[in-house]
Amino acid sequence: MKPSIDIYLDGRKVDTDRLSDLPSEDSVAVYESLRSYQGIVFRLREHLKRLDESRRTIGLILPKSLQKLEKEVRECAATYRKGDKFLRLTVNSRHSYLFVTERNRPEHIYKVGVHLKTSTVRRNHINAWTPAVKTNAFFNNVLAVLDGLGDARFDSIFLDAKGYLTEGTIWNIFIVKAGKIYTPAAGGILNGVTRQYVIECAEKEGISVVEMPLTRHDFWNSDEAFITNTSGEIVPVRSLDGRLIGAKIPGRMTLTLIKRFKQDINKKLKRKI
């Protein structure tokens, strides 16, 4: 059964029997994917900062201030005190839309890891379109998703024009080698809010994080690998293109980061993040 979705238009909940009255979205919009914990949105201001950067890049004038958007999102999220929620904030030149639903990843993926494949679709060249911008023009990612239909991959991983790993369709990637964490540099990817948070968690644990170009060879020969995003947090990787990664899933360092992540979230919940 599909999870139900609540929809808010400009901060007001829309009755399900009046969805046809919703104004149509403009062809150009920016968005952010958010997660709330017990009614508190994780790093909302960081998400809104990125949304503002996205709209500046595409020349979009928002219909309201970031402060107004923040107020709308916080008030909506506060009505969902039980459990965690996935929220998608979409803003065009006329309206803000907030979609609220469940997105709980299957528990087993955190225990056994996920299988990834490199996509035959290349990541957009940064001079053609920057992955740092989140808009409803999601064509590059849609092609990669379609590329994976019919097989057991959890997600597709983009290579850039030079053959270096970049990111998944909605995930950032990390590998662990000889006690250090490596991840593609932020210049050619979406610098995920959760990606940044995981790097902070690693630094708090005294773990060195290196941002550098990575190849599939690097990934296949890593001790551990994991992926991150807002809705799924930290997910261990079992294989890339059929090559198994590491000897144990999840790996020791991955477990350390998962534990630190959850501890920090619980502390921030007490302070309302």
Domain CATH number, residue 229: 3.20.10.10
Looking at 125-139, 207-221, 247-261, which range is the least confident one?
A: 125-139
Question: Residue 54's domain is classified under what CATH number?
Answer: 3.30.470.10
Q: Which of 51, 67, 101 is the last residue of a domain?
A: 101
Average pLDDT, the chain: 93
Contact between 76 and 12 (Cβ < 8 Å) = no
Q: Which of 101, 125, 152 is the last residue of a domain?
A: 101
Contact between 30 and 135 (Cβ < 8 Å) = yes
User: Given CA atoms 101, 107, 110, 114 in this order, what sign does their dihedral have?
Assistant: negative
pLDDT at 129: 84
In a domain, 200, yes or no: yes
Regarding whether 164 and 119 lie in a shared domain, the answer is yes
Pairwise CA distance, residues 21 & 225, whole Å: 46
Band of residue 152 on the pLDDT scale cut at 50, 70, 90: confident
Q: Which residues, in sequence order, are bridge partners of residue 7?
A: 99
pLDDT at 139: 85
State the average pLDDT over residues 145-152.
85
Regarding whether 154 and 91 lie in a shared domain, the answer is no
Sequence-distant (6+) residues with CB within 8 A of 17 are none
Predicted model pTM: 0.93
In a domain, 1, yes or no: no
pLDDT tens digits along 54-89: 999 999 999 999 999 999 999 999 999 988 999 999
The range of the structural domain enclosing residue 191 comes to 109-268
